[in-house]
């Protein structure tokens, strides 16, 4: 399951979704109300419940640099099931609903606080709480800077509850020369934490290459 919150970083979510679908994974998707504003601001794409599959296809086809059709052919979205953020009776709101785990990418500090405190104010937060209580993997890709002491305490609480916190901070040892490669590195680390195979970035192998650092 993938939850997209209102933090800046919608290209991270797109990269994660493309990789999950390429790996043959079915995806339950929740896009928060705040994240729709961010998506519109960062991409010009409106994510609408009534036309979500069309909007998702445009989003996943878009490159991190703004190229409208950077990924062709467009990623097949047949294996995506979308749930409205306000639908607290949706499948993922129950521990009996069958999912392998949940990725929140990007995760805003408000989302982090809501999950850490168990507020369940929308389906995204409720689903995250369900995955924690069911002891399923929960990966939180927090995207904010700087981090306040309050947010740091919330992140520690999530770690202690069993979640994996992955800061959305790209590394440079993989030899990135394009914004998409930096985005894919973060997406790859999120997928690594969830145990999903991918080929989004070059892994560190213990050898320096033309100025590359040591990870």
Residue 81: the pLDDT is 97
pTM for the whole structure: 0.94
Residue 99 lies in a domain: yes
Rounded to whole angstroms, the Cα distance separating 65 from 46 reads 18
Q: What pLDDT does 208 receive?
A: 83
Distant-in-sequence, close-in-space partners of 95: CB < 8 Å, separation ≥ 6: 130, 133, 134
Strand partners, 165: 140
Question: What single DSSP character describes residue 4?
Answer: E
State the pLDDT at residue 214: 47
In a domain, 180, yes or no: yes
Give the CATH number for residue 132: 3.40.50.1950
Q: Is residue 150 part of a domain?
A: yes
Instruction: Determine, yes or no, domain membership for 155.
Output: yes
Structural domain boundaries, residue 142: 2-194
The number of residues making up the chain comes to: 215
pLDDT at residue 213, as a whole number: 46
Q: Distance between CA 37 and CA 58 in Å, rounded?
A: 16
Is 206 within a domain?
no
Any domain includes 199? no
Phi, psi of 115 (to 5 degrees): -70, -45
What is the per-residue pLDDT for 76? 75
Q: Are 141 and 190 in contact (CB under 8 A)?
A: yes
How many structural domains is the chain composed of? Answer: 1
Q: How many whole angstroms separate alpha carbon 105 and alpha carbon 14?
A: 9
CA distances from 151 to 46, 58, 77 (A): 29, 33, 34
pLDDT along the chain (215 residues), means of 10: 98 97 96 98 97 96 95 80 97 98 98 97 98 98 96 98 97 92 98 96 84 47
Confirm whether 213 is domain-assigned. Answer: no
């Amino acid at each position: 399951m993938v939850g997209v919150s209102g933090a800046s970083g919608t290209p991270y979510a797109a990269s994660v979704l493309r990789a999950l679908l390429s790996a043959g994974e079915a995806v339950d998707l929740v896009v928060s109300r705040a994240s729709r504003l961010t998506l519109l601001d960062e991409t010009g794409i409106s994510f609408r419940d009534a036309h979500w599959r069309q909007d998702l296809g445009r989003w996943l086809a878009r490159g991190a640099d703004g190229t409208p059709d950077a990924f062709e052919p467009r990623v097949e979205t047949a294996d995506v099931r979308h749930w409205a953020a306000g639908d607290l009776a949706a499948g993922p709101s129950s521990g009996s609903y069958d999912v392998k785990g949940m990725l929140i990418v990007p995760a805003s500090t408000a989302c982090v606080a809501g999950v850490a405190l168990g507020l369940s104010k929308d389906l995204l937060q409720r689903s995250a709480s369900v995955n924690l209580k069911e002891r399923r993997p929960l990966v939180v890709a927090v995207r904010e800077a700087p981090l306040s002491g309050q947010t740091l305490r919330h992140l520690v609480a999530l770690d202690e509850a069993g979640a994996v916190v992955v800061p959305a901070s790209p590394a440079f040892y993989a030899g990135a020369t394009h914004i998409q490669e930096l985005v894919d590195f973060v997406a790859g680390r999120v997928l690594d934490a969830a145990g999903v195979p991918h080929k989004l970035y070059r892994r560190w192998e213990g050898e320096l290459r033309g100025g590359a650092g040591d990870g």
